[in-house]
Amino acid sequence: YLAPYQDLAYFVRPSPEELSYVANTDDQLQLIMETLCTARVSETVSEPENSPDAETEDPPSVERAEPLQDWLLQLLTELELPSGQVVEDWTTFERRDPSLADASRLFLQHRGIPLPPHVPPLSVDLMEEDIPRLNYWAPVLDRYIRHRLRRSPSQADQELAQQAVDQLRLLGLQITETGCQACASPVGRVIAYSRNKIKALVPILSQEIENLRDNIRAVVIADFEKTSATSAEVEHLLDEEAGGAIAAFKQLVNNPPTDWLNPVLLTGSSVLVDDDIADQLQSRAEEWLRARDIDVTLSREPFDGFDLLNGSGSQWSPRVYVEMITDLFQAGVTRCLVGTRGLLGEGWDANKINVLIDLTTVTTSMTVNQLRGRSFRLDPDQPEKVANNWDVVCIAPEFTKGLDDYERFNKKHCRLFGVTDDGLIEKGVGHVHAAFTELKPEGLEESVQLLNSDMLTRSTQRAESRQLWKIGEPYQGIPLKTIEINSTSRDGAGWGFMPFQGLRSPWSAESLTKAVSRAVLESLQEAGQLSQESSLQIGARSGNYIRVFLDRASEADCELFLDAVNQVFGPVQGTRYVIPRHVNQIEDTWISRLLPDLLGRFFRKTEQELAMVHAVPAALARNKRLVAIFQSRWNQHVSPGEALFAYRGAGAELVEEAQRAGFVPHSKIHEKEIFL
């Protein structure tokens, strides 16, 4: 058996110096891009002085490469593949060169440049997605640099190509003669080993000290003892200790709240001890060595705030001192160990760990599981143990590589399971917080402080977390797909009141999602497309996310149902039928204002108004019989209203007016995998 745990995250911004470097790199890339998109004057080539034509003819000129967007338009017009072959239609081009087909359209449409008539534009919902620009710049720049600039006879074009290549290398992209591939990024390294990630140890551990007092046993794990800079561009930002275990240890001993933990650093070459416990630890260590007949003489070398513990004798080795310090950690001589993933990885065991802080950049499944496994051990002295596993993530989402560290965080959790705030087991980064998605954390840049505060509060709720795991209760272990919907007040049109006779209940995100989902489920069941045994499950999560899934349903039924709900809350473009959703708005009258609320509510004025126009799910829009079934259930659970054919007539007019007025859904919808 394993101890229950919580996965938590703490977010920081880069330091001002780091942010300046990241911003400057971004500005340089933007400048290069604008240069590539600007028309260039033909290059004049001077004749040698001894040439017989040097004085009698004008010097020849070399044609410069056309701007990037012009070259892209020509390529899409001609449908030319990288091999030089020209294909006959867009479908073939898209199938043969899918990355450029999407990236080129995204690039041109974002710049407001019309596409050739035979090239279909990208859908509105894809255009509205917050796709990192380097994701679609990279295929475009790769092709333009390799197939146009490098082949240009102009020396200036070739120099421009090299400038672009050098700038992209700083951002982790290497354009070679054969293609584009990922490479080490100085910008990504600066963010990964930001000074502020080390500083985050203080608020995290200060809160955990308050939570656990003397029972705290914390472990901080870094990649290396010291981390040296890899390129001249970042030497002024990353010294030899940046992001390493020594930097983390010094941060702890130099801050009074965390110095109380009496930290000890363990690496393959060093043992550093907080000077507050140096005498005690040496004495206990010598007892430990004598009890095991290990012939080692200990000595100490003092530094500012800590001592270096040395051992002399043939038996002194990392195997010995790691076991020795671990036993002293278990006994509470030190309450915090700082080490490297190589030393405190597989095989190392300390069952009293209840706080793990991961500062590493490793993302491989095996290593991540090894690190997390350090805190899962059951502690016989603390049968109610719950471990808090922390990730510290540095973000600057406004910049091209500003979410690199978040992407690492996402990769760490893509195969990890955890309990969510609504008591389900979920795989992926969403179990840490509902707002975390595979692409980027939604709204995080505006709410870092609020989210960190929420995480620190959750760290205090170990008992509640243990209850969410439902230890000892029946467990099926069946994977289920689910969606989470975040409907803003804009999607609810201010929510309003349920538009049914005799009801004055206001809509909420949860009640509206439940009503729509029920209408979809009952429609599919009545149409014979879903089993009657299927049971609707709705759960509220933090951040206004509502989880929807089916219990007692086959995988195919789950897929059909979730796809249908997704379509109702999704864009209306291209849908066959649409249906309006109305809400009641209740206003005071002059009589209701004069009367007490208990009586005045009977004299308030109720008006029904259009709140939103939704798509009828494709599975229920194939014919009029299916549409009538959905309309009936919609009218029963959600709103009065008639389903209309959206391709012409009143339906087309309704869609056009709704889009113009903003009465179409803008819900954020995530697909997840849970276990029951």
The predicted structure's pLDDT at residue 492: 45
Whether residue 40 is contained in a domain is answered as: yes
Tens digit of pLDDT for each residue in 75-134? 999 999 988 899 989 889 988 998 999 999 999 998 999 999 999 887 655 655 667 788
Q: Within this chain, do residues 443 and 491 fall inside the same structural domain, yes or no?
A: no
Rounded to 5°, the CA angle 112-113-116 comes to 140
Q: In terms of DSSP H, where are the helices of 37-89?
A: 68-78
Q: Within this chain, do residues 485 and 444 fall inside the same structural domain, yes or no?
A: no
The predicted structure's pLDDT at residue 56: 47
- The sheet carrying 644-645 orders its strands as 605-615, 577-587, 644-645
The predicted structure's pLDDT at residue 607: 75
CB distance 395 to 444 below 8 Å: yes
**Domain count of the fold of the chain:** 3
Q: Does the structure show a pLDDT above 60 at 490?
A: no
- Which of 73-82, 250-259, 311-320, 446-455 is least confident? 446-455
- Proportion of the chain above pLDDT 70, given as a percent: 87
Measured between alpha carbons, how far is 148 from 65 in angstroms, rounded to an integer?
7
- Which of 116-130, 203-217, 369-383, 515-529 is least confident? 116-130
Q: Within this chain, do residues 114 and 82 fall inside the same structural domain, yes or no?
A: yes
Which domain-ending residue is among 411, 433, 468? 468
Q: Within this chain, do residues 554 and 670 fall inside the same structural domain, yes or no?
A: yes
The predicted structure's pLDDT at residue 489: 46
Task: Grade residue 493 by pLDDT with cuts at 50, 70 and 90.
Answer: very low
Whether residue 517 is contained in a domain is answered as: yes
Measured between alpha carbons, how far is 232 from 106 in angstroms, rounded to an integer?
35
- Proportion of the chain above pLDDT 90, given as a percent: 55
Q: What is the mean pLDDT of residues 46-65?
A: 62
Q: What is the mean pLDDT of residues 554-571?
A: 94
CB distance 420 to 480 below 8 Å: no
Q: Does the structure show a pLDDT above 80 at 185?
A: yes
Range of the domain at 198: 5-13+190-468
The predicted structure's pLDDT at residue 254: 95
Q: Within this chain, do residues 286 and 322 fall inside the same structural domain, yes or no?
A: yes
Q: In terms of DSSP H, where are the helices of 111-200?
A: 124-128, 133-144, 155-170, 186-192, 195-199
Q: Does the structure show a pLDDT above 80 at 231?
A: no
Task: Grade residue 478 by pLDDT with cuts at 50, 70 and 90.
Answer: confident
The predicted structure's pLDDT at residue 588: 66
**Which residue bears the tokens 């795989």?**
427
Instruction: Give the residue with greater pLDDT, 250 vs 126.
Output: 250
Task: Grade residue 63 by pLDDT with cuts at 50, 70 and 90.
Answer: confident
CB atoms closer than 10 angstroms to residue 43:
16
Tens digit of pLDDT for each residue in 308-341? 999 999 999 988 999 999 999 999 999 999 998 8
Q: Within this chain, do residues 352 and 280 fall inside the same structural domain, yes or no?
A: yes
Q: Within this chain, do residues 517 and 631 fall inside the same structural domain, yes or no?
A: yes
Which domain-ending residue is among 447, 468, 489? 468
- Which of 217-221, 373-377, 451-455 is least confident? 373-377
The predicted structure's pLDDT at residue 345: 60
Q: Within this chain, do residues 239 and 343 fall inside the same structural domain, yes or no?
A: yes
In angstroms, what CA-CA distances link 27 with 22, 111, 532?
A: 9, 18, 58
CB distance 422 to 547 below 8 Å: yes
Task: Grade residue 542 by pLDDT with cuts at 50, 70 and 90.
Answer: confident
Which domain-ending residue is among 187, 214, 248? 187
Q: Within this chain, do residues 540 and 599 fall inside the same structural domain, yes or no?
A: yes
255: Cβ–Cβ under 8 A, 6 or more apart, which residues? 202
Measured between alpha carbons, how far is 585 from 606 in angstroms, rounded to an integer?
6
SS (H, E, C) 479-529: EEEEEEEECCCCCCCCCCECCCCCCCCECCHHHHHHHHHHHHHHHHHHCCC
Whether residue 474 is contained in a domain is answered as: no
Whether residue 483 is contained in a domain is answered as: yes
CATH number of 327's domain: 3.40.50.300
Q: Is the pTM of this model over 0.85?
A: no
The predicted structure's pLDDT at residue 601: 57
Q: What is the mean pLDDT of residues 451-459?
A: 94
State both tokens at 532.
């009657």
In the predicted model, what is the mean pLDDT of the chain? 87
The predicted structure's pLDDT at residue 228: 57
In angstroms, what CA-CA distances link 250 with 19, 44, 198, 245, 321?
A: 23, 60, 10, 9, 20
Whether residue 473 is contained in a domain is answered as: no
State both tokens at 229.
């800079």
Q: Does the structure show a pLDDT above 50 at 148?
A: yes
Q: Within this chain, do residues 207 and 73 fall inside the same structural domain, yes or no?
A: no
The predicted structure's pLDDT at residue 444: 64
Q: What is the mean pLDDT of residues 69-74?
A: 95
H/E element holding 672?
strand 668-675
The predicted structure's pLDDT at residue 270: 85
Q: Does the structure show a pLDDT above 90 at 293?
A: yes
228: Cβ–Cβ under 8 A, 6 or more apart, which residues? 238, 240
The predicted structure's pLDDT at residue 83: 87
Measured between alpha carbons, how far is 160 from 418 in angstroms, rounded to an integer?
49
Q: Within this chain, do residues 441 and 581 fall inside the same structural domain, yes or no?
A: no
Q: What is the amino acid identity at position 581?
A: R
Q: Does the structure show a pLDDT above 60 at 349?
A: yes
Whether residue 659 is contained in a domain is answered as: yes
Any long-range contacts for 644-651 (C-beta under 8 Å, 24+ apart)? 644/577, 644/578, 644/579, 645/576, 645/577, 646/572, 646/575, 646/576, 646/577, 646/578, 647/576, 651/577, 651/578
Greatest mean pLDDT among 32-41, 117-126, 641-650: 641-650
Burial status of residue 102 (CB atoms within 10 A of its CB: 0-12, 13-18, 19 or more)? middle
Largest CA distance in the chain: 107
Q: Which of 165, 263, 188, 157 is nearest to 218 (CA)?
A: 263
N-to-C CA span, the chain: 18
Measured between alpha carbons, how far is 38 from 41 in angstroms, rounded to an integer?
10
Q: Within this chain, do residues 624 and 648 fall inside the same structural domain, yes or no?
A: yes
Rounded to 10 degrees, the C-alpha dihedral 656/657/659/664 comes to -110
CB distance 377 to 344 below 8 Å: no
359: Cβ–Cβ under 8 A, 6 or more apart, which residues? 197, 198, 220, 221, 222, 223, 243, 248, 392
Tens digit of pLDDT for each residue in 408-423? 999 999 889 999 988 8
State both tokens at 71.
């070259």
Whether residue 515 is contained in a domain is answered as: yes
Beta-bridge partner residues of 547: 484, 539
CB atoms closer than 10 angstroms to residue 610:
17
Exposure class string for 419-429: b at 16+ Cβ within 10 A, else e: bbbbebbbbbb
Instruction: Give the residue with greater pLDDT, 609 vs 144.
Output: 144
Q: Does the structure show a pLDDT above 80 at 503?
A: no
Whether residue 81 is contained in a domain is answered as: yes
